[in-house]
């Protein structure tokens, strides 16, 4: 009999929900605070610095383009095709910058960019890129000065005859920390300004955002209808193939018991009918549990997932780290993601064990299910596509990674608000 490991992690926090979706207060209220380890912070800082450095380099290119484009447009007034190529170069430069911002500074959705918007973006961004280059040069200069002073003290040849007295060392250390803080804030500020400019000039307009939202809502509505229809067919199939067959067998047993004249035979048939009725009740409970687990309402998501682990037929470890209860529809979607993923791992993936993690990161409930099976799961299959539609109906996202040979990772992100 496989053993099922169930770990329920309970986090503590003093934060209070502020009522705004995706806010730090809400993120801390629903789950663990989004504390990042030092390594990740260092990588984030290095990524920001690299983005600002590349932005400084592209700013010089942008300035060169603007310097040549202003007279170029006048010279090429009689050559429309050449002017279009010149404008196309502006769009390509702007698109490169948008991708740089997206990669190093975060989300920067693309929109429809006209020639005027592209040129306006290059003109507005060039000073920002130059500013970022100046900040990085100041950081480099400061690092060189600090290094030279420290090396001079260590080798006994102080720079500018500045002796390493305790007062000087403390003053120099405090000054270096303050300058470093200002430089880091400068890099962060340049990155934020760069991101805002990209979204303002290169991002989708209000009309585009509304059109995209309408398309998403139309697709999610169609997905919900398809998911409901598929769920109805599954329930009908479960009732027909399971409960209905057992009820027919139960009726036959009772009928045979009524027709027989042998008391011992009648007693045996009634005993079999009693056992069959118990199995019918078990099947009904199983069908009802798959439709909607009552443990979600009574006990919450952690206990419902524990029930899934107990009935999985293979070792399942559940790590559920929640300090509050999300909305009912979010809990339900998270439960069915885990249930379907575990069922697929047991039936199709030939997995030996499954790891389930539920936590809140940045105001979103993240459900991750990893199995060590053979992989090759098809995201367009009936089960996973149904989960994707269920998650999309809540403005969530479902990602499936299942290379041949495994492992299979299913990750769902659901809004907590």
How wide is the angle at C-alpha 253 spanned by C-alphas 233 and 257, nearest 5°? 155
Do 394 and 310 fall into the same domain?
Answer: yes
Q: Where are the alpha helices (DSSP H) in 156-204?
A: 166-202
92: in domain: yes
Cα 336 from Cα 372, distance rounded (Å): 20
196: in domain: yes
CATH classification at residue 406: 3.30.565.10
Residue 37 above 50 pLDDT?
Answer: no
In the chain, what percentage of residues exceed pLDDT 90?
1
**Strand 364-371 versus strand 408-415 pairing type:** antiparallel
Do 74 and 145 fall into the same domain?
Answer: yes
pLDDT digits (tens, 9 = 90+) for 232-281: 777 777 777 777 888 888 888 888 888 888 888 888 888 888 888 888 88
Output the pLDDT for position 348: 81
Do 306 and 287 fall into the same domain?
Answer: no
Mean of all residue pLDDT scores within the chain: 77
Domain that holds residue 394: 6-14+298-415
Report the run of H or E that residue 371 belongs to, with start and end: strand 364-371
| Band of pLDDT at residue 19, cut at 50, 70 and 90 | very low
31: in domain: no
The DSSP letter of residue 31 is S
Do 136 and 260 fall into the same domain?
Answer: no
Which residues, including other chains, have CB under 8 Å from residue 186's CB and lie 6 or more apart? 135, 138
Residue 149 above 50 pLDDT?
Answer: yes
Do 367 and 287 fall into the same domain?
Answer: no
Do 276 and 332 fall into the same domain?
Answer: no
What pTM, to 2 d.p., does this model score? Answer: 0.48
| Band of pLDDT at residue 75, cut at 50, 70 and 90 | low
**Strand 397-401 versus strand 364-371 pairing type:** unpaired
Q: Which of 236, 270, 291 is the endpoint of a domain?
A: 291
C-alpha closest to that of 56 among 191, 179, 181: 191
Q: How many domains does the chain have?
A: 3
Do 282 and 379 fall into the same domain?
Answer: no
Cα 152 from Cα 52, distance rounded (Å): 32
Q: What is the mean pLDDT of residues 353-378?
A: 87
Residue 107 above 80 pLDDT?
Answer: no
215: in domain: no
30: in domain: no
36: in domain: no
Contact between residue 290 and residue 249 where contact means Cβ atoms under 8 Å apart: no
Residue 1 above 80 pLDDT?
Answer: no
């Amino acid at each position: 009999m496989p053993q099922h490991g169930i770990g329920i992690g309970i986090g503590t926090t003093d934060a209070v929900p502020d009522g705004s979706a995706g806010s730090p207060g809400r993120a801390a209220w629903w789950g663990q605070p989004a504390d990042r380890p030092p390594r990740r912070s260092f990588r984030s800082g290095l990524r920001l610095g690299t983005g600002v450095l590349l932005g400084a380099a592209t700013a010089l290119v942008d300035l060169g383009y603007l310097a040549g484009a202003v007279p170029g447009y006048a010279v090429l007034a009689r050559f429309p095709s050449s002017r279009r190529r010149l404008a196309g170069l502006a769009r390509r430069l702007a698109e490169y910058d948008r991708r740089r911002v997206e990669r190093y500074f975060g989300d920067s959705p693309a929109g429809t960019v006209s020639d005027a918007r592209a040129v306006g973006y290059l003109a507005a961004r060039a000073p920002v890129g130059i500013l970022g280059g100046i900040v990085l040069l100041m950081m480099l200069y400061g690092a060189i000065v600090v290094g030279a002073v420290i090396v001079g003290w260590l080798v006994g040849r102080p720079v500018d005859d500045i002796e390493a007295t305790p007062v000087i060392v403390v003053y120099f250390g405090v000054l270096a920390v303050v300058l470093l803080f200002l430089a880091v804030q400068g890099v962060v500020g340049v990155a934020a300004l760069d991101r805002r400019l990209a979204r303002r000039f290169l991002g989708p307009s209000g009309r585009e955002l509304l059109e995209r939202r309408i398309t998403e809502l139309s697709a999610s509505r169609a997905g919900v209808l398809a998911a409901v229809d598929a769920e109805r067919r599954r329930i009908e199939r479960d009732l027909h193939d399971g409960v209905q067959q057992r009820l027919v067998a139960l009726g036959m047993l009772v009928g045979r018991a009524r027709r027989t004249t042998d008391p011992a035979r009648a007693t045996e048939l009634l005993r079999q009918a009693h056992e069959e009725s118990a199995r019918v009740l078990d099947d009904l409970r199983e069908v009802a549990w798959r439709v909607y687990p009552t443990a979600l309402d009574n006990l919450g998501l952690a206990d419902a997932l524990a029930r899934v682990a107990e009935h999985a037929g293979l070792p399942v470890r559940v790590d559920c780290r929640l300090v509050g209860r999300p909305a009912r529809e979010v809990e339900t979607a998270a439960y069915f993601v885990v249930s379907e993923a575990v069922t697929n791992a047991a039936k199709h993936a030939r997995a030996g064990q499954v790891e389930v993690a539920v936590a809140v990161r940045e105001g979103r409930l993240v459900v991750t299910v990893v199995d060590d099976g053979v992989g090759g799961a098809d995201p367009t299959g009936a089960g996973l596509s149904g989960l994707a539609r269920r998650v999309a109906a809540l403005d969530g996202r479902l990602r499936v990674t299942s290379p041949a040979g495994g492992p299979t990772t299913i990750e769902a992100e659901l809004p907590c608000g």
